[in-house]
Structures are given as C-alpha cells and as structure tokens.
C-alpha cells in the first residue's frame, strides 16, 4: 500500500484524493470476493456510515447562525458541488438534513454514533419546524437509538400531545376554505393505460375518515366473496376493491361494510373538555393528528364516535384463554395504545391484533392486552415466516418501543394440520 506524502498531498504526483480512490477500488475488489450476500450487507452498512459522515461534514461547512433558510441554502450549495445526476428533491432533502445537524450539535453527535439515520433526522426536523425552531432535548432523549419508523411515530405522538386546540381549529377552517374536488388524468406508463382520476381534497381528518370507510367497505366485500378461501385466480386486488367501494358509496349501492372494528378513533383528555379555552389541547384522530372542536362535535352527533370505557362496563379487555380472537373493545384499546402497526407504523385500520405469545404455542398465549399488539399484514407475515417474536423494551428517554428477536420453541405456534379433501 502506498504511503501518502503529506507535503505534496500524494505520492509520485498522485493526489490524496486519487490515492483514496485507489484504496476504495481495492476495497470493492476485496468485497466482491466474499460473495454477493455478504457484499450487500456490508455495502448497506458502509453506505449509511458514509451518508451520515457526509451530512455532518456539510453541516460544519454550512455553519449555524440561527437562520434556518440561510443554513439550508449554504448546505445545498456544498451538496451541489458533487457529481451530477441527483434530483432536486434529493438535494433539498439532504440540505434540510444538514441544516438540522448544524442547528442541533447534539443531533450530529447521535448521527455519528450510529444512533440516528437520515429518516430519523427528517422526523426530528419536523419537530423543530413545528415548535421553537430547535429540537426539544427531551424528544432527542426519547428517540435516540430507535429505528426510523419508531422515531417518526414518537415525534408524531409528541407533537400531537402538545397541539393547542386553537391551532387545530384554525387549521381546520383554512382547509375547509380550500376544500375541492378536481378531475385529473394520469398518463400511460409502461403497460399501464392512461387513467382519469377524481381527487377529493380537504381537511386531513375528513380525508382520513373517508379512506378508512373505503377500506372497511373493501375488506367487507373481500370477506363476503370468500376472503382467503377463494382460488388465487379469483382474488380481486386491493386497489380494485377500493375503487368498487368508492363507486358504491357515490352511487348509494355499497354493501354492509363496517363490521365490529372502529374505522375512526379519537382521543381527548377529560381536562381538555372542560379546561381553559386558551390552554386546551386539541383532540387527536389516531392516524391523522389534531382535529378541530367542530369536527369532534360533528362526529359525536352523527354517532361515528365510539367511546372506550375502561372500568365496569361489562366488556372484557382481558379474555385469558377464553377466546382466541380479540374483541372490538380490545381492538379499540390497541388502536389507542399502539396507534398503528408497532413495527412500520401502518394505519390501525389495516392492522391485525397479533398475539405476542401465539395462542397455539406451547406457552399458550392469552388474549389479553399485554399479550396483544397491532401488526399490519406484511409485518404479521414476516414475523411468522421468520420465526420471530415481538418484545417490548424501554426506549432510551422513557416510554416503551417494540422490536423483534428469534422466537424460542415455546413461543412458536404448532404447525397447522394438512387439510385433506
């Protein structure tokens, strides 16, 4: 290996940069000899490390002067000096990340320690933009070392819990003033034909409710038609079922839909119902965020709001071994607690109530809230196919987060018996 001459910046006319390129090419050649599977794993690890180091270096170049816009502008100028071929969107995204690192030195330290990725920086930057301009120290403690999806969910929950009712009301009024339906076209792409579209735009809380209703109708139609028992060539794709559900709603010919699971879940503290108007926190629609007082009143009046009562209401939230399937009350409690898939954050309406210790495992899992968690279909299949189990552990700054580990034999469900005709 060559030794760099510090005085000349290279050896025999070779610059330090060129020498590093030679070494990098040699490293790639060594990695290519260890097999594709290991190569892919190492390449992903190196890519993340290089990306973090690059953003921290750009943050140092951009400096911190308290002006977010100027920091992003300087960061973008340094990023634009690299090789061409990058989209404007990716340049703006990296400039935003670098500016966040420049304004929050502790954030950069976490990134260099491997406790934060680019997606995690994005989530925390949002918290800075929506609060005082700086990332709250307690939020940094809570998100340190977490997966990007978990960090994003904690940031969203942090902001929702602190959203003033006045801000939610003002946002709702502005969105209602801009509400509209527009017609658009999607050009043909590859084998896909050109399509006409109809867009309904308005308050995010109302759009979230409409989306939940369409998904509920689509799921109900799927189950009515036979669900998983139908032959593979008779399955209707989810996008098609959503279209049929929307058409049924507009034409007034929709099926029964609904079912026992709630489509919309709203939480509000008792103190915020009766407290000082200037200091009240907004109600939260799970999966959407803070909503206005007017919308809460409309939902309560229409009967679309189901109350979750924890107490002497006669609905068991712990079933033990009495029943395998979670009740509607348990599902509602899980929606309030987990707010969506505990691994990827998918909307709670698309999730199943998963037994942490399976019902059919030797350990005989119970249908209790402390043994249940929301998982979307993809994460649910991945857990079972990978012979893994969920574990709940404390996060660095308080609270609990979910992760996975290999399941023991006692935690694995018994194989399903072969179905004979």
The answer to whether residues 66 and 102 touch, using CB atoms and an 8 Å cutoff, is: no
Q: List, in order, residues 6 or more apart from 74 with CB less than 8 Å away.
A: 61, 62, 63
**Interior CA angle at 117 toward 113 and 122, to 5°?**
130
400: in domain: yes
CA distances (Å), origin 71, targets 61, 65, 102, 106, 303: 10, 7, 8, 17, 49
Q: Could you tell me if residue 10 is inside a domain? A: no
Residues 98, 95: Cα–Cα separation, whole Å:
5
The reported pLDDT for the residue numbered 261 is 64
Q: In this predicted structure, what is the pLDDT of residue 345?
A: 85
Q: Where are the alpha helices (DSSP H) in 113-224?
A: 118-130, 137-143, 148-161, 165-177, 204-224
Q: Is residue 204 part of a domain?
A: no
Domain that holds residue 377: 336-421
Closest-CA residue to 318 (of 278, 241, 372): 372
**Secondary structure (DSSP) of 135-165:** --HHHHHHHTT--HHHHHHHHHHHHHHT-BH
Contact 56, 62 (CB under 8 A): no
How is residue 398 written in tokens? 């308080």
Q: Is residue 209 part of a domain?
A: no
Q: What per-residue confidence (pLDDT) applies to 87?
A: 82
Domain closes at, from 162, 185, 220: 162
Count structural domains, the chain. 2
Last residue in a domain, options 136, 162, 188: 162
> Domain for residue 275, yes or no?
no
Last residue of a domain, one of 121, 146, 162: 162
Report the mean per-residue pLDDT for the chain.
81
325 inside domain: no
94, part of any domain: yes
pLDDT at 417: 45
Single out the residue of 211, 208, 198, 265 nearest to residue 242, CA to CA.
Answer: 211
The pLDDT value recorded for residue 374 is: 94
Whether the pTM exceeds 0.85: the reply is no
Domain assignment of residue 203, yes or no:
no
pLDDT, tens digit only, all 421 positions of the chain: 344 444 444 445 668 888 888 898 898 888 888 888 888 888 888 888 888 888 889 988 888 777 778 888 888 888 886 666 678 888 888 888 888 888 888 777 877 777 777 777 887 877 777 766 677 777 877 777 777 777 777 888 888 888 888 888 999 999 999 999 999 998 988 888 889 999 999 999 999 889 888 888 888 888 887 777 777 677 788 889 999 999 888 887 665 554 556 677 888 877 777 666 677 888 888 888 888 888 888 877 765 555 544 444 456 678 888 888 888 888 888 988 888 899 888 888 889 899 999 988 899 999 999 899 999 988 999 998 899 999 988 776 666 788 899 999 999 887 654 433 3
């Amino acid at each position: 290996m060559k030794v760099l001459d510090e005085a000349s910046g290279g050896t025999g006319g070779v610059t330090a940069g060129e020498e590093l390129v030679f070494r990098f090419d040699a490293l790639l050649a060594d990695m290519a000899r260890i097999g594709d599977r290991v190569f892919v794993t190492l390449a992903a690890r190196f890519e993340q490390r290089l990306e973090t180091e690059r953003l921290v270096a750009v943050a140092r170049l951009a400096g911190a002067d308290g002006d977010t816009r100027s920091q992003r502008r300087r960061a973008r100028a340094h990023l634009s000096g690299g090789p061409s071929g990058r989209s404007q969107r990716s340049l703006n995204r990296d400039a935003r990340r670098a500016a966040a690192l420049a304004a929050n030195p502790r954030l950069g330290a976490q990134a260099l320690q491997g406790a934060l990725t680019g997606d995690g920086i994005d989530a925390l930057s949002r918290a800075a933009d929506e609060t005082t301009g700086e990332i709250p120290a307690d939020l940094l403690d809570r998100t340190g070392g977490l997966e990007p999806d978990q960090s994003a969910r904690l940031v969203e929950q942090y902001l929702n819990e602190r959203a003033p009712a006045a801000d939610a009301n003002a946002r709702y009024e502005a969105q209602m003033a801009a509400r509209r339906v527009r017609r658009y076209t999607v050009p043909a792409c590859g084998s896909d034909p050109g399509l006409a579209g109809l867009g309904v735009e308005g308050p995010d809380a109302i759009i979230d409710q409409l989306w939940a209703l369409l998904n509920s109708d689509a799921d109900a139609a799927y189950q009515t038609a036979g669900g998983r028992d139908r032959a593979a060539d008779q399955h209707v794709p989810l996008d098609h079922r959503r279209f049929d559900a929307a058409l049924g709603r507009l034409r007034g010919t929709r099926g029964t839909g609904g079912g026992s699971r709630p489509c919309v879940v709203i939480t509000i503290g008792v103190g915020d119902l009766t407290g000082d108007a200037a200091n009240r926190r907004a109600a939260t629609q799970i999966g959407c965020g803070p909503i206005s007082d007017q919308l809460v009143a409309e939902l309560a009046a229409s009967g679309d709001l189901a109350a979750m009562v924890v107490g002497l209401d006669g609905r068991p939230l712990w079933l033990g071994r009495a029943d395998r399937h979670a009740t509607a009350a348990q599902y509602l409690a899980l929606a309030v607690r987990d707010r969506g898939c505990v691994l990827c954050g998918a909307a709670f309406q698309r999730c199943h109530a998963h037994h942490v210790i399976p019902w059919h495992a030797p350990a005989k899992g119970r249908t209790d809230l402390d043994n249940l968690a929301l998982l979307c279909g993809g994460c649910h299949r991945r857990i079972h196919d990978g012979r893994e189990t969920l574990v709940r552990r404390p996060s660095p700054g308080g609270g609990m987060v979910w992760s996975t580990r290999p399941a023991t034999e006692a935690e694995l469900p018994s194989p399903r018996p072969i179905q004979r005709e």
